[in-house]
């Protein structure tokens, strides 16, 4: 039996760092988008800079929200942002709440990333490693844009990294605090300026032995660089750092990248990321969003 998860407003899936809509036959949000469409939702994936700061990506998102509204005749959109995409979604909702029905943060670094802090400290400003890292990351992002065949957008690797550190996101939060918890690890306001805020995230699955999924192995290795949220992170973002608005759950057994897709060789009883998006569309539907 097919679910009816048709929402009042279109859903925009907003990608994070090094994200894209499509490269050849491969779509970043393919499984998520297909599952939502099969459930009756109207879904779009905006084209944003693969690497840049939160405000620049947020401005790009605002332009594409306008395009979707004009093209569909809708009055508002539901934004679901993965990783840094959550910060772009928050920016858009803060500046144009009349165009946004809801913001959902999925594995969003809403209080910064300890991994970004570690990387920023490792790259001494002006020294060769920083210059090399910036050039490599920026050229890789330019290459992704070329492969995607879409309009080239600006890329700034160090701006993106700085925007994801605890300090960088702290500065962002001072300007755009909508939906943030007042207590560490708590829930934030459900409604702000007519926009409904939600979040969910996971932690790196705990099991003995090596993982058969290379992405999961990478996230497990990166998770060891966390101090404040050691064993309570998804490899890139800490569990409590991800909290925003109504926290649906922040300890799904899912690493950062597997909140976008199913893990290969996934156990039958493991959390299913794709189902979470469909469940959330039903939640939006129930809330008349």
Candidate list 52, 82, 243, 256, residue with the active-site label: 256
Close Cβ partners of 131 (under 8 Å, ≥ 6 residues apart): none
| CB-count exposure of residue 206 (10 Å: 0-12, 13-18, 19+) | exposed
Q: Is 256 one of the annotated active-site residues of the chain?
A: yes
Candidate list 213, 234, 255, 272, residue with the active-site label: 234
Q: How far is CA 173 from CA 14, 46, 193, 272, in A?
A: 19, 23, 16, 31
Least Cα distance to 108 among 239, 271, 253, 230 occurs for 239
Candidate list 83, 107, 145, 250, residue with the active-site label: 83
Least Cα distance to 14 among 98, 96, 106 occurs for 106
Q: Is 102 one of the annotated active-site residues of the chain?
A: no
DSSP assigned state of 191: E
* Tokens, residue 76: 């508002």
Q: Is 234 one of the annotated active-site residues of the chain?
A: yes
- The residues annotated with a catalytic role in the active site are 83, 234, 256
């Amino acid at each position: 039996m097919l679910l009816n998860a048709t929402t009042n407003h279109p859903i925009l899936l907003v990608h994070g760092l090094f994200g894209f809509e499509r490269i050849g036959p491969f779509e970043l949000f393919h499984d998520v988008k297909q599952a939502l469409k099969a459930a009756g939702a109207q879904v779009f994936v905006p084209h944003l800079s693969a690497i840049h700061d939160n405000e620049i990506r947020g401005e790009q998102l605002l332009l594409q929200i306008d395009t979707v509204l004009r093209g569909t005749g809708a009055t508002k959109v539901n934004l679901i942002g993965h990783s840094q995409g959550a910060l772009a979604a928050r920016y858009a909702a803060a500046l144009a709440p009349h165009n946004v029905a809801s913001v959902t943060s999925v594995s969003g670094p809403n209080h910064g990333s300890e991994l970004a802090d570690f990387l920023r400290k490792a790259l001494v400003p002006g020294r060769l490693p920083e210059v090399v890292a910036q050039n490599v990351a920026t050229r890789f992002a330019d290459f992704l844009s070329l492969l995607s065949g879409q309009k080239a957008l600006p890329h700034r690797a160090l701006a993106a990294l700085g925007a994801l550190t605890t300090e960088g996101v702290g500065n962002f939060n001072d300007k755009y605090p909508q939906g943030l918890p007042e207590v560490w690890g708590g829930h934030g306001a459900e409604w702000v300026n007519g926009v409904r805020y939600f979040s969910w995230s996971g932690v790196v699955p705990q099991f003995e032995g090596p993982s058969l999924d290379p992405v999961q192995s990478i996230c497990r290795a990166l998770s060891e660089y966390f101090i404040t949220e050691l064993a309570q992170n998804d490899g890139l973002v800490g569990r409590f750092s991800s909290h925003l608005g109504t926290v649906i759950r922040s300890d799904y057994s899912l690493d950062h990248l597997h909140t976008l897709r199913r893990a290969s060789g996934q156990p039958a009883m493991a959390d299913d990321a794709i189902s979470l998006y469909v469940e959330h569309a039903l939640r939006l539907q129930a809330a008349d969003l």
